[in-house]
Amino acid sequence: MRHEEGRDRETCASCGYVYYHNPLPVAANVVLNAEREVLLVKRARDPQQGMWCLPMGFAEVNESIGEAAARELEEEAGITGEVVTLLHADSYHSAFYGDLLIVSFEVVKTGGVERAGDDAEDVGYFPLDDLPPLAFRSNQQAIDACVGLHRDEWRIQDSFHAVQHGHDVPLLSSPAIRVIEEHSASIAQAWFGEMLTSPTTLCYRRLDPEEMRDTARTALSRLDAWMRGDAAAEEVSAFYRALGARRSAQGCRLDEVLSSITLLKLHVWRFSRTLAAFETPVDAYQLLELSFLVNSFFDRAIYHVTRGFAESERPGS
Fold of domain 2-150: Nucleoside Triphosphate Pyrophosphohydrolase (3.90.79)
Q: The domain 174-312 is classified under which CATH number: 3.30.870.10, 3.90.1150.10, 1.10.490.70, 3.40.50.920?
A: 1.10.490.70
Max CA separation in the chain (angstroms): 116
Query: Quick check: do 2-150 and 174-312 share a fold?
Result: no
Mean pLDDT of the region 67-96: 94
Q: Where are the beta strands (DSSP E) in the chain?
A: 2-4, 7-11, 18-19, 24-30, 37-43, 52-53, 56-58, 79-94, 98-112, 120-127
| Backbone torsions φ then ψ of 46, nearest 5 degrees | -70, 155
Give the H/E segment covering residue 312: helix 281-312
Cis peptide before 23 (omega within 30 of 0): no
pTM score? 0.69
Note the pLDDT of residue 104: 98
DSSP 168: -
- The DSSP secondary structure of 104-149, one letter per residue, reads EEEEEEEEE-----TTEEEEEEEETTSPPPBS-HHHHHHHHHHHHH
Q: Identify which of 289, 273, 269 has the alpha carbon closest to the alpha carbon of residue 281.
A: 289
Domains of the chain, by residue range, sit at: 2-150, 174-312
pLDDT of 306 over the 60 cut? yes
**Hey, what amino acid is at 252?**
C
Rounded-to-integer distance, Cα 312 and Cα 215, Å: 19
Residue 155, pLDDT score: 84
CB 282 within 8 A of CB 217: no
Give tens-digit pLDDT for 207-266: 999 999 999 999 998 888 887 777 778 889 999 999 999 999 999 999 999 999 999 999
Confidence bin at 9 (pLDDT 50/70/90): low
Mean pLDDT of the chain: 87
Is the confidence at residue 283, as pLDDT, over 50? Answer: yes
pLDDT value at residue 280:
76
For 91, the 3-state DSSP assignment is strand
171-185 pLDDT, tens digit each: 666 776 777 778 888
Q: What is the pLDDT of residues 106-163, one digit of tens each?
A: 999 999 999 999 889 999 999 999 999 999 999 999 999 999 999 988 888 887 777 6
